[in-house]
């Protein structure tokens, strides 16, 4: 079974990357490899925009801790490098990336969503960086970009408490862009992608958003 699906929309200007790991889309080595391959395909394809979503009830609940504990030191380094490559490639994509989020979007999953340009969430979505609750710490964008999006004080609170917030609060503090009914999630993300690709700047393959230059993944 493919753990990440790559699909071209009926509108060929839009490509879909769908996380397809059962239940929680936990980030393991196999999923990360397929994720990277899908991002490369979307980046090289004729599409002008990318939608990142999931096939199940949850977007992504972060690292597969069970697998991580079993990895050798070398494979652990490979996992970390693969994860950071995913985040960097999403963050630095030459094409607009929209995340369509439902269910849990926490830890590494939340960092992946933050790496996208726009986040549309269903009302049942949950966000946060709960690493503190398991004696770990947030990586990459969890520390770097969260304060930019929600403010330093709110970011410190979320990181230190590990608290999980619902979609309405995530919208209120600026972590996400829109909250919609679950059945309208993909429809809303797709309509937004179409609105974006109609712009001539996107059609001309813009290389970077100005807002991205100030934050290095």
CATH number of the domain where residue 8 is located? 3.90.226.10
Sequence-separated (6 or more) residues with CB below 8 Å from residue 130:
106, 107, 162, 163, 164
Sequence-separated (6 or more) residues with CB below 8 Å from residue 46:
12, 13
For residue 43, give the H/E element and its range: helix 29-44
Categorize the per-residue pLDDT at 133 as very low, low, confident or very high, splitting at 50, 70 and 90. Answer: confident
Provide the number of structural domains found in the chain: 1
Q: How far apart are CA 74 and CA 33, in angstroms?
A: 16
Q: Which one of 21, 34, 111, 186 is the catalytic residue? A: 111
Categorize the per-residue pLDDT at 131 as very low, low, confident or very high, splitting at 50, 70 and 90. Answer: confident
Q: Give the range of the structural domain holding residue 92, as residue numbers without chain letter.
A: 4-190
In 1-159, DSSP assigns E strands to 4-8, 14-19, 49-54, 97-101, 104-106, 118-122, 126-128
**pLDDT 10s digits, 49-101:** 999 999 999 999 999 999 989 999 999 999 999 999 999 999 999 999 999 99
Q: What is the pLDDT of residue 23?
A: 86
- Please state the pTM of the whole predicted model: 0.91
Specify if 217 maps to a domain.
no
Specify if 76 maps to a domain.
yes
Categorize the per-residue pLDDT at 137 as very low, low, confident or very high, splitting at 50, 70 and 90. Answer: confident
Q: Is residue 186 flagged as an active site residue?
A: no
Q: Is residue 131 flagged as an active site residue?
A: yes
Q: Mean pLDDT across the chain, nearest whole number?
A: 91
Specify if 195 maps to a domain.
no
Q: What is the pLDDT of residue 193?
A: 97
Q: Which one of 34, 43, 81, 131 is the catalytic residue? A: 131
Q: What sign does the dihedral 199-202-204-206 (CA atoms) show? A: positive
């Amino acid at each position: 079974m493919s753990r990440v699906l790559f699909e071209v929309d009926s509108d060929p200007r839009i490509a879909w990357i769908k996380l397809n790991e059962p239940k929680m889309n936990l980030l393991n080595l196999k999923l990360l490899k397929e994720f990277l391959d899908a991002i490369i395909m979307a980046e090289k394809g004729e599409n002008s925009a990318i939608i990142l979503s999931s096939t199940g009830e949850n977007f992504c609940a972060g690292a597969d801790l069970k697998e991580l504990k079993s990895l050798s030191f070398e494979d652990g380094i490979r996992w970390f490098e693969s994860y950071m490559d995913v985040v960097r490639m999403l963050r630095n994509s030459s094409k607009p990336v929209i995340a369509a989020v439902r269910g849990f979007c926490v830890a590494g999953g939340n960092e992946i969503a933050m790496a996208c340009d726009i986040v549309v969430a269903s009302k049942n979505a949950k966000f946060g960086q709960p690493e503190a609750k398991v004696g770990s710490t947030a990586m990459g964008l969890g520390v770097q970009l969260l304060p930019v999006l929600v403010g330093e004080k709110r970011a410190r609170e979320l990181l230190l408490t590990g608290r999980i917030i619902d979609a309405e609060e995530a919208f209120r503090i600026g972590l996400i862009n829109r909250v919609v009914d679950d059945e309208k999630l993909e429809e809303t993300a797709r309509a937004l992608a179409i609105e974006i690709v109609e712009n001539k700047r996107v059609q001309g393959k813009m290389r970077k958003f100005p807002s991205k230059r100030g934050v290095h993944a």
